[in-house]
Amino acid sequence: MIKGSRLAADIGGTFTDVAYFNPATGSMSLGKTLSTPQQLVDGIADCVNKAGTRFGDAEIFLHGSTIAINSLLERKGAKTALLITEGFRDIYEIGRINRPDAYNLFFKKHVPLVERSLRFEVSERLTAEGGVHKPLDEAGVHQICEELIARGIEAVAILLLHCYTNPMHEIAVKKIVQERMPNAFVTASHELSQEYREFERCSTVVANAYVGPIVSSYIRQIDQRLASQGFAGAFLLVQSTGGLYESAQAQIQCVRMLESGPAAGVIGAHALCEELDLGDAIAFDMGGTTAKAGVIYNHQVLTTNVAMVGGYAQGLPIQIPLVDIFEIGTGGGSIADVDVGGSMHVGPRSAGAEPGPACYGRGGKFPTVTDANLLLGRLNADRFLGGEMKLDVASATAAICDHIANPLGINPIEAAEGILRIAATKMSYAVKGVSTERGFDAAAFTLIAYGGAGPLHASSIAREIGMRKLIIPRAPGHFCAFGMLHSDLRYDFVRTTFRKLDDMDFDEIQTAFGELERLGRTSLKESGVQPAAVTAAYSADMRYVGQEHSVSVDLSHAMLESRDRLAIKAQFDSVHQQRYGTCAPLERVEIVTLRSAVTGVMEKPPMEKIAAGTATPPAEALRESRDVYYAEIGTKASTPVYDRDRLLGGNRIGGPALIEEHASTTVVLPGDELEVDSFGNLRITVGGSTA
């Protein structure tokens, strides 16, 4: 088992964060710098230097990045072709023909990543049971390759009907394409998903091919940089499940790291919940570009098996296990503007790291959420990032006046407050997206807010929703990198199998689960990392007979050993009731897919306690008092500003107040009450009116 030092790096759209943990000393050091979009690896290296360490000092390097999801959303992937079973060329474009907004006359369908002229039919056909109905025409595949070469194709996705039951034709086609096109990125659907549903599997394999050349090249660059810096340990990447997988696999199954950074944040929130014995919480991450939310329910991170990248209405489905995250294009760098009708909008367009918000003084001319926070007094121009970056108040004011205040005929303070109010409302949708829309009462959950900008807006968002409890963890600006230090190796394997629960052969099901578990354990051994322990969890996708869609139900080993059909049925009814608000206890159910998640449990860094104090903060913790505008009272108020590093366990602070630290500022609104717990977390009870 590797017990050595670990270095975790998280790249966001605006900032890159690093957390370094040395178990020999029990210490953790942090680094933060602006991301370097032209050469992302440089930003990691800069951050490692700021953390006061070197790549060669670490035994494990952990990494999460938005490069895969950004390539998809921005449509900046490789020139991709799709090889698909004859007669099914258009399933990728037809999709499910769902109409999310039935009365929207301007509704637009999803736009495929591969245009129709680059979709090629392969003469072959397997039956649903995996038998050969029509042999593969290998000569025809060679002819297709001739055209792919002539058209300069960079990546090839392969989707053949029913390959989840028998991948022999996909394996043969991939071998031919790789031999003919050795420099192309080639991926087959059975390598990513063993589930039925051709459209979703098609969309998944195309997405993997589309981002494959960019992501695999990026990972190789990091590998090379690590080697040049004397790193000889294990290089692991964060999957969308929050689990880890090794870099060689990540270069093949690139799509599995779509939500790697946000997933790591939810894993960090889960670790915090376990330390605090908190069963239910919503993890909220606001960075420079986006805001994300995930759920911890009954001590478990909620996951899903299909993500709609780009939103439900026009998004493309990705059929992989992942943390259930709702994302919205609102962050500190989100640009505010006024449309021709005189309405103000915030995001999704972002100033990013280059040029950044107007106040960064790097050429940005448009007002952002960060500029509004600065103008209202919530940020200190001289202490941003611990004083490493000086903010330009004049530029922020000019941008807000030119683009918001003057066009609307209001003063700059009103304009800045309007930006923050719109941003808070939009970000509350992310929280509702993983709670209210999933059948949960968000007001009953605790909001754990992190990311560089999360603590600035957490109380406003809580008031929008009616939440009463907030937790701001230590070093919130580095929390996703911190979460990676709490991630485990994880391998998910899936098998579609249709069985009615009443007729299910438990021996057959347990044998299938055992085979999936063995695949996971084999993958763990091949990773080269020896975990502290290995666990396996089973679940099944189930539905009422006659239904189309299913829900995932956890199946304990005891439940399977006791062969308790009634307990399994009751578990399914409960999940269905929570998810949809209804269930049918008298209806028959069926299993459609079996799932096994094999986890290699890694040693975790301990959460350190801080020194205890009294209810009154020490005098040296008070930095200053400055005027800050609050919409809650409609005016500016003299606000005490505290140095978070000097606060002690048990300290209590009533709002309004600001708590400053190196990479973030927490806003305690009027009426809020803050208490510092023994681990240094800021626990806020939200006051005032709530929605």
Tokens 């997206």, residue located: 433
Written as six digits, the tokens of 26 are 């029990």
Q: What is the DSSP letter of 403?
A: I
H-type alpha helices, 89-197 = 91-94, 138-150, 168-180
- What confidence tier does 382 reach under pLDDT thresholds 50, 70, 90? very high
pLDDT of residue 526: 84
Q: What is the DSSP letter of 405?
A: I
What does the alpha-carbon distance between residue 461 and residue 688 come to, in Å, rounded to a whole number? 13
- What confidence tier does 419 reach under pLDDT thresholds 50, 70, 90? very high
> Is residue 97 pLDDT above 80, yes or no?
no
Q: How far is CA 28 from CA 53, 357, 623, 680, in A?
A: 11, 30, 25, 15
What does the alpha-carbon distance between residue 14 and residue 29 come to, in Å, rounded to a whole number? 21
pLDDT of residue 2: 46
pLDDT of residue 688: 60
- What confidence tier does 1 reach under pLDDT thresholds 50, 70, 90? very low
> Is residue 91 pLDDT above 90, yes or no?
yes
Instruction: For residue 648, count CB atoms less than 10 angstroms from its CB and return exposed for 0-12, middle for 13-18, buried for 19 or more.
Output: middle
Size of the chain in residues: 691
- Candidate from 68-72, 252-256, 489-493, 658-662 with smallest mean pLDDT: 68-72
Structural contact between residues 155 and 209, judged by C-beta atoms closer than 8 angstroms: yes
Based on C-alpha coordinates, what's the Rg of the chain?
A: 26
Closest CA to 627 of 411, 415, 377: 377
What does the alpha-carbon distance between residue 188 and residue 380 come to, in Å, rounded to a whole number? 52
pLDDT of residue 11: 85
Written as six digits, the tokens of 587 are 């209806």
> Is residue 3 pLDDT above 80, yes or no?
no
Segment 634-680, tens digit of pLDDT: 999 999 999 999 999 999 999 899 999 988 999 999 999 999 999 99
Assigned fold of 6-72+216-257: Nucleotidyltransferase; domain 5 (3.30.420)
Distance of CA 530 to the CA centre of its chain: 26
pTM: 0.89
What's the average model confidence in pLDDT over 14-21?
Answer: 86
Give domain limits for the chain: 6-72+216-257, 77-211, 489-601, 619-685
Segment 183-198, tens digit of pLDDT: 999 999 999 988 888 9
Closest CA to 254 of 219, 202, 294, 303: 219
Segment 31-62, tens digit of pLDDT: 888 888 778 888 888 888 888 888 888 888 99
- Candidate from 94-103, 176-185, 618-627 with smallest mean pLDDT: 94-103
Assigned fold of 489-601: Dna Ligase; domain 1 (3.30.1490)
